Structure formats: structure tokens, C-alpha cells
Chain A
């Protein structure tokens, strides 16, 4: 199985059926796999903050979701995480495809990427960087359980070591 098929199946097992995203090339196979499966309701949003708000509202309404984005999109989220997800104890599940490292060709991506883990640390948000196919299921499965049980957001970072990343395009 590929990483995105594993992620799709773990989300289904945990009844995570609402998928909001701001698209990204690395996430594309996951987004396509999700759109191909009628279990999911998936759509693109105009901003990551908006998508986080939708997922937070859906959680309070009894429906589980996940927010997919790339590194630069995560950089727009600290206020929404700090003032909505964390203090209201809403287990927003986030998945970030990691740009800015291991062959990045865009200087803006490489700089903004450095803000991601410090922000997650500063807000004490549980996060895991996934680098190997054999650890994807365990990390996503256990972390969704923990997020729900502890009412805390969680962020999965998809390393280029796992996904292949985005390669230099002239």
C-alpha cells in the first residue's frame, strides 16, 4: 500500500469523513483517493484558517474531519490554533505536506518551513513527522485516538522521505 492509501483507510476506520484542504502537489494522490471514495465529503477551501474553522464547527456538531495543507499554509494558522482549537479544546486534525527541505527550490518555502515546528512547540500541539511507510498507520491511528481522548489538536507532517516531496521544476 502507498502512504496515501494507508492514511485514507485509517481515516475511515476512525470515522474521519470531512476533508477540507488547500491543495498541494504532494497531497494530490491523497486528495484524489479521498474524492474517489464516497465515504468522504471533501472540498477545497479558500484559506487554511477557513478550513480549520469549518473542521472546528463540524467537530462541535458531531462530525470528525481533517485539514490537509502544505507548509506555507500552516504558517497562516497560529492565531486560529491558539485562539480556537487549543483554548476551546477542539481536536482539529491537521496534515501538512512538508516543503522547504530536502531539495527545496523555492526560497520562500525554505524560510517559512522553519516556522512550523517552533509554532507547534510553542502552542504545545502534538505533532509527528512521518518519514517511513511502515510507521504511517501506527502514527495516524494512535494520534487520532489521542487527539479525541485528550481534546487536543494534532498535526501530521509528511516528510519528503515518505512522499518523495516536490522535485525541482525549471
Chain B
């Protein structure tokens, strides 16, 4: 499958953005109680930080605490269970590299309501910034395309990111959006209360009343 023609940017041409800033931009586009799965690490923390509002915290978010690499599978499971809801997986480069097979599974399922957003800073930042393979030649968008997710693209900049997220909300997926990000610390830290996270998420999805 061809790449998205109006998003031809390669990884090394993509602007290095800020994780909190683009997470905030993404959350602002969510108006239909879309589900968001936050992988572990700073991706997760900035989703938490970006999801607080004056009237409370966004309920349709799930925050992993461990199980590195499983944001995409968990999001796929939610998407299968609720095919009419759009589901996002926010995952870091180090995490997705642990579970590359899940991209093939998403492609094989042709999961229309799923969008994967990869926050790629080329480093295991939370453990001290050791290089991941994306800093040494691996290209997650290329891997996703080769895995069968044709609608995969690098976000050239913030405007391109917003446009790609907007398209993923309107058009059938699966989608994968690669984002190059800087090494800024996250803005907040997720509360580590798994039972509460899971219960809130299920209520946010209407599974529990």
C-alpha cells in the first residue's frame, strides 16, 4: 500500500515536537468519548497531564502501569469490543519495538476504528536516555507500512499531526502516526492506582454505570 501522499515526510525530515504539547492538541480533538490507551513511561504521564480539565479528568483514558509494549494490543481489544468507538494507542518507540508483531495483527484485523500514535524520541528516556533502535536506523512508520498498515505517516509538524489525527477520527483506519519528540520531562505523573484507573475507564466507556 502506498503511503499517505500528502504526508511524504521521512523520519529525519520530521520536526522534533514536544510530547505534552502534541498530546494536548490530540486530546482537544476528541469530542466523541474516544478511548485512549497510554503506554508506559513519559507517554503515559503526559497523557495524564493533558487530560485534566477544570471539570475533572477525561474518563476514557486507560493508563498502563507496566506490561511494556501492550498499549497497541489493549487498544485493539477495546476497538474489537466497541467497534463504533474510535480508539487510540499512545506508545513510545522503545515500547512498540517490543511488540512489533502487534502491528501485523492490527493490519490483519483491518481494525477500522484504531489509530496508533508513536512518540519517538529515539531513547528509553525514563531509564536514562539510552538509545533505542529508532535512533540507529529503524523507522516505525516504515515498519508499520511493511506490516500492512498502509495509512502510516510521519507528522511533519504540529499542523500535520493535527490534520492526521483529524483524518483518523473521520476516516476508517487502521492508522499509525509517527511523531518525533524532544527529551523534555513530562508535565505530571500518573496516579498509580490500577483498580481505580480500570474502573474509571470502564465507566467512561459505558461498560459500567
Contacts and interface: CB of A to CB of B under 8 A. Distances in A.
Nearest to B206: A62
Interface string B42-66: 0000000000000000000010111
Interface string B158-200: 0000000000000000000000000000000000001101100
Which of B67, B72, B102 is packed against the most chain A CB atoms within 10 Å?
B67
A157 interface: no
Given A62-B207, A83-B65, A87-B65, A45 B77 contact: no
Given A80-B67, A83-B65, A61 B81 contact: yes
Contacts of A49: 67, 69-70, 73, 99
A90 B207 CA distance: 13
Which of A58, A79, A88, A89 is packed against the most chain B CB atoms within 10 Å?
A88
B194 A88 contact: yes
A51 interface: yes
B105 interface: yes
A43 B198 contact: no
Contacts of A47: 99, 101
Which of B35, B105, B108, B201 is packed against the most chain A CB atoms within 10 Å?
B105
Given A43-B108, A62-B205, A87-B195, A53 B80 contact: no
A58 B195 contact: no
Interface residues of A, number: 31
Which of B68, B73, B78 is packed against the most chain A CB atoms within 10 Å?
B73
Contacts of B70: 49-50, 52-53, 56, 80, 84
Given A60-B201, A87-B65, 16 more contacts: A45-B101, A52-B73, A53-B67, A55-B77, A56-B70, A57-B73, A58-B80, A60-B74, A60-B81, A60-B207, A61-B77, A61-B205, A62-B202, A84-B67, A84-B74, A88-B198
Interface of A: 18, 41, 43, 45-47, 49-63, 65, 79-80, 82-84, 87-90
